Amino acid sequence: MRIVSVLKYFGFSDYEAKALISLLSRGEMSAKDIAEVSGIPRTSVYDVMSSLESKGFVEAFGKPKRFKAIRAEEIISILSEKAGREIEFLQKELPKLSSTEVEEIRIYRGDLVLEKLRELVEETKENIFGILSYISEDVKEILERCRSRLVLISLNASEVKNAEAYEFERRDKVVDSFREHCHGLLIFDDKKTIFLFRGQSSLGVVSESRVIANFSKMMLMPVLDLLKSRKID
């Protein structure tokens, strides 16, 4: 019976659903009558009725004990209220779960690249790690706005004020060839990453994935450790 399936959907056991249907269709009944009409084993009837009574769907009275279901309209009202509370709970909690897993990748071109970089720098609260081929003047200006720890690896990292700078071996021809380009990546608070490709045209790929940020930092750190050791030597 579909009505049994629907009642089970709302948390009733198979026996509870059958007992409730029997009482609604027949009115007041004894435990013996319920067992005969519903097919519930007689040894289980009192446990089933006790459960329904504790949930407020059945009333017990008299000696010998007889049972009566509350009105169908009342049952529907109770179940509707319960369903409403559960839906309200899901409406509050499910978006919290999905929002924490959102991973966005966006592509910016032209002037929007520097605008997005400026936004990321200004939002940073803890640290920025970056490795760039060469830091162009416009990128340098933005990075100098950083109010948190700024760790940079580049041919000209020391030109950025307040940066913890580590530089590749400088060779004039190499430096000259890189002045027209600013390629590399920057990681913000271990949460967001921007991959910069700036030459004749500008392209920025921004990721809000912690996985990508952590992976990028894993690639950057060995280079940083090597340059640190050389700096100490």
What does the pLDDT look like over 174-218, one tens digit per residue? 445 555 677 899 999 999 999 999 877 889 999 998 889 999 999
CA distance 57 to 210: 50
pTM above 0.85, yes or no: no
Domains recognised in the chain with CATH numbers: 2-70 (1.10.10.10), 105-232 (3.30.870.10)
What does the pLDDT look like over 131-159, one tens digit per residue? 998 898 999 999 999 999 999 999 889 99
Count of other CB atoms within 10 angstroms of residue 62 = 10
CA distance 16 to 40: 9
